[in-house]
A = this chain, B = another copy of it.
Amino acid sequence: MADRPNSQNLIGKLRRVLLGAPIPSSKAHHERLSPLLGLPVFSSDALSSVAYATEAVLGILILGQTVNRELLHYQFFISLAICILIIVVGISYNQTIHAYPQGGGSYIVASENLGETPGLLAAGSILVDYILTVSVSTVAGVTAITSAYPTLTPYLVPMCLFCVACVAWANLRGVRESGSVFAVPTYAFIFGIFVLIIFGSYKAFTTPAVHQEVVAPGLLGKEASFAFLFIILRAFAAGCTALTGIEAVSDGVQAFKPPESHNASITLRIMTVILTLMFLGTGYLAMHLPTLTFHDANDPQYRTLVAQIAQWVFGYQTKPFLFIQFSTAAILILAANTAFADFPRLSSFLARDGYVPRPLARQGDRLVFHNGIMFLAIAAGFIIWYFKGRLDGLLPLYAVGVFTAFTLSQFGMVKHWFRLKGPHWKQSATINMIGAVLTLIVTAIILVTKFLDGAWIVTILLALQFILFKSVKRRYLSIAKQLAIGNTPPKMPAAHVSILLVPRVHRGILAALEYALLLDLQCRAVHVAINKKALPEVMATWERYGEGVPLDVLNTPYRSLIQPVLEYVDRLLEENPDRIITVIVPEAVASTWLHSLLQENVANQLKQALGLRKNVVVTNVRYFLD
């Protein structure tokens, strides 16, 4: 509830130092992007998956190695299949770009065409996946660094949490999606991977083929009993994490320079081609590595697949090797950053539509949805900590959400074409139908093969989230109904009495009495006799200064200040339920926090205790102590 840009207290000052000065709403413009700058802004999530997707495929295939020693060779065919999937989904989304030039996120496309339930399901899936994007990208980014500097391995989890905190902090400060800032790491990464693929392919061609040695302590033969097809499908499902983020361009068409759709479409096509080439290239090189190693992420011997390839091609800790590792880490952190921009934005859409608590729709004074950012950081941090920074534990949860959203969005597009029936609608509908059916099949494969490994968690989460969305919406509808003005605006009771609490008689109380008399209501003073010895003095002083207002003395057998007042108010309400009671609570305000410890203020306690009593208004008259 950060709400005081000019707060003069300590917390306010700390906020300013940490988060910077407030940003006015008028600054909420977006720079318009060319495809050259649009690519880095929207593709970091998709492209960065090259850093872990192939490794994920191999990580599954290795499990069946004892049954079929040639199983690892299927990796390339699986990668090919995934590339085809990338192209199909890319073409599908290219249509969304043209159909929804205002931005066609899955939530919008699904809810507009298929209705509320599919829309919420899509939104929920995307939200869960944003959380996982932060976790997965951060972990993958940090392991890129620990692969280069194995002595850092023991600090894997703390480093990940530190990264999440930094990105969250940057977002709370309100980083803008600035194309030029994004461009450096993204193009560095693309450049690095392509150089790696070219040099690596040359080396693979010129080196005589040897049988690949596999080092995988604790993994070989662990799940040898699985059937061949199941292992292949599971490996395919693991590789599908490569597709996360591919929909990003279609969400942000409006960020491009005019003609927006055209530029967005070019960007999407370039991204698809680059992603396919990088994915295939690393898969090809993985096959030609003389030694493939699989260690636990917390083992200092662990190297990411990309690091193993770069080590083979350029040598360990050489300059090109380090360039690749650092640019990989940078693009992965960018991907996490993108989720930090998108999660709160989608939450705020849902909050505006009344499906999540409205405070998530509040923009803070730095023009960011701080509640959403905080929530995302905590959730992603918890997941990293829970999985001890191990990607192989995290990845099975990933991609379920994204493919659910893909499927719903594609089916929504099919419906869209059927509704509008514009030119070439049959062709468009067919393309989206192919995408929809394909992603539906992939969703099913992912769910079945990854279910026991963690997809069940996501399934339960999605269900709970859906229930939450629905019940929050129901609650807001009920509130709106209760607050509707209707034909008869509310009437307040005309009888009105004010009660002034008098703990002792001093200047502060007399000021409150003046205020009470100013209101020109029937007024009664009330004293709770906690200290019986002081009672005669209180009564005598009131007699003198009370300006004729009657003083009621309340006994308090249990020494409570609040209870007798509550009973007194209840008695007044019982006497005449059609009366409104203003309780005037004098409150001492000390000039410093330390001094306020010396005061006993009951105003808030009393307000709390008055709870659900209707027709009671609490008024604070404050008096000030230097």
Contact = CB atoms under 8 A, between A and B. Distances in A.
Interface string A467-490: 000001001101100111110011
A364 interface: yes
A352 to B, nearest CB: 9
A604 B604 CA distance: 9
Nearest to A498: B519
A558 B621 contact: no
A507 B483 contact: yes
Contact of A619 (B489, B514, B619): B619
15 contacts: A1-B605, A4-B609, A5-B558, A24-B558, A362-B559, A362-B600, A479-B588, A483-B506, A489-B507, A490-B514, A591-B612, A607-B620, A617-B621, A617-B622, A619-B620
A559 B365 CA distance: 6
A224 interface: no
A339 to B, nearest CB: 23
B485 A506 contact: yes
Given A22-B558, A490-B507, A612-B624, A496 B483 contact: no
Contact of A472 (B518, B598, B617): B598
A621 B618 CA distance: 7
A574 interface: no
B620 A545 contact: no
Interface of A: 1, 3-8, 22-26, 357-359, 362-365, 367, 472, 475-476, 478-479, 482-486, 489-492, 494, 496, 505-508, 510-511, 514-515, 518-520, 541, 545, 556-563, 580, 582, 588-589, 591, 595, 597-598, 600, 602, 604-605, 607, 609, 611-612, 614, 616-626
Given A508-B483, A514-B492, A25 B545 contact: no
Nearest to A516: B492
Given A506-B483, A507-B484, A618-B620, A562 B3 contact: yes
A506 to B, nearest CB: 4
Closest 4 CB pairs of A and B: A483-B506, A492-B514, A24-B557, A22-B558
B506 A25 contact: no
A484 B506 contact: yes
A263 to B, nearest CB: 28
Given A24-B558, A507-B490, A562-B3, A520 B520 contact: yes
A478 B592 CA distance: 14
Contacts of A559: 25, 362-365, 367
Nearest to A559: B363
Nearest to A619: B619
Contacts of A582: 619
Contact of A563 (B5, B612, B617): B5
Nearest to A356: B598
